[in-house]
Amino acid sequence: MEKRRIGTLSVSVVGLGCNNFGIRLDAERTDRVVHAALDSGIDFFDTADVYGGTRSEEFLGRALGKRRDEVVFASKFGIPLDEQRKGARPEYVKQALEASLKRLGTDRIDLYQLHRPDPEVPIADTLGALEELKQAGKIREIGSSNFTAEQIAEAENAVKPGAARFVSVQNEYSLLQREPERGVLDACVKRGIAFLPYFPLASGVLTGKYAKGAPVPGGTRLSAPDGPLTPRFLSERNLELAGKLQEFAGKREHTLLELAFSWLLARKAVVSVIAGATSVEQIQANVGAAGWRLTADELQEIDRVLVVDG
């Protein structure tokens, strides 16, 4: 599989998002998905302390076991686990890292990411704590998540000469949610920062399993009408656009899933598409979806299909 770089790290262009571990998948099913990913060429695994109420890290570490050195671990901190364990205070950064290392069963995290900005803590203070952890060999690179272009610039300006800087930003980005194009992607290209899209498949809407006017398939993430993600992703607009995009892909003998992956990987700043999976079949489909090399004309036509807002 093709590799791209996040700072000093080399990662597969298809990554595995581990937010299903400990929620939709138990330890045994997590093990099957993790090993299917490894066997398919995926070496980039993205989790967070908050996923599965800390079980995602535990299940992932247990599943990898002796194969830990074959992968690039990415985890995150900052979203509250409880009233005490939250935010980006320097003392908590160190506490959160030690807890994640223990759950993952490793002595280092390759990419340690601030899950979201903490308005109560100067970014320079957080960066200082992360620099200490990097110097100690407990993390290799640091990244951010849910940062605006202005926050990326603020963090860059706060870095002391020779100290650790954010080498990545992980924000929501897909064919149906293009907010990063309003400044963040340009900031990444300008500063040499890797962009990692989450929700690249719009919670499944860009897989082709949902269709306008058709019943919602049972057992899927969006099958519960009162689910937290259902109203946002199963909107009339999204289903209509997904239908148009599926038609575009079908005319070129490709699937909607292939379009979703390959369109993201055609963006200059994007390094790896992090997609979740709950089965071996989904892993194999994701890996196979990244090979379509879209032409400039096709990218322009996609823009016309989407009728991009100004």
Domain count, the chain: 1
**Residue 185's domain spans which residues?**
3-207+267-290
Strands (E), the chain: 3-6, 9-12, 14-17, 44-46, 72-77, 109-114, 139-145, 166-172, 194-198, 273-276
Question: How far from 292 is each of 94, 132, 171, 200, CA to CA, in Å?
Answer: 42, 42, 23, 16
User: Which pLDDT tens digit goes with each residue over 192-243?
Assistant: 999 999 999 998 899 988 777 666 666 666 656 666 666 777 788 999 999 9
**Cα(60)–Cα(237) distance, rounded to whole angstroms?**
36
**Cα(11)–Cα(222) distance, rounded to whole angstroms?**
30
Q: Yes or no: say if 13 and 271 are a contact pair by the CB < 8 Å rule.
A: yes
Q: How much of the chain, in percent, has pLDDT values that exceed 90? A: 86
Q: What is the residue-averaged pLDDT of the chain?
A: 93
Domain annotation covers residue 155: yes
Structure tokens at 145: 């998540």
144 by DSSP, 3-state: which? strand
In this prediction the pTM is 0.93
User: Which pLDDT tens digit goes with each residue over 66-80?
Assistant: 999 999 999 999 999
Domain annotation covers residue 296: no
User: Which pLDDT tens digit goes with each residue over 266-287?
Assistant: 999 999 999 999 999 999 999 9
Identify the DSSP state of 197: E
What would the mean pLDDT of 166-180 be, rounded to a whole number? 97
Domain annotation covers residue 198: yes
Dihedral pair phi/psi, residue 298, rounded to 5°: -65, -40
Task: Please report, for the domain that includes residue 74, its CATH number.
Answer: 3.20.20.100
For residue 297, pLDDT over 50 is answered with yes
* Residue 59 burial (CB count, 10 A): 28
What residues act catalytically?
51
Domain annotation covers residue 137: yes
- Residue 186 is predicted with a pLDDT of 97
Domain annotation covers residue 79: yes
For residue 7, pLDDT over 70 is answered with yes
Domain annotation covers residue 271: yes
Domain annotation covers residue 107: yes
For residue 173, pLDDT over 90 is answered with yes
Q: In the chain, what is the straight-line distance between the N-terminal and C-terminal CA atoms, in Å?
A: 36
Q: Yes or no: say if 218 and 192 are a contact pair by the CB < 8 Å rule.
A: no
Domain annotation covers residue 244: no
For residue 137, pLDDT over 80 is answered with yes
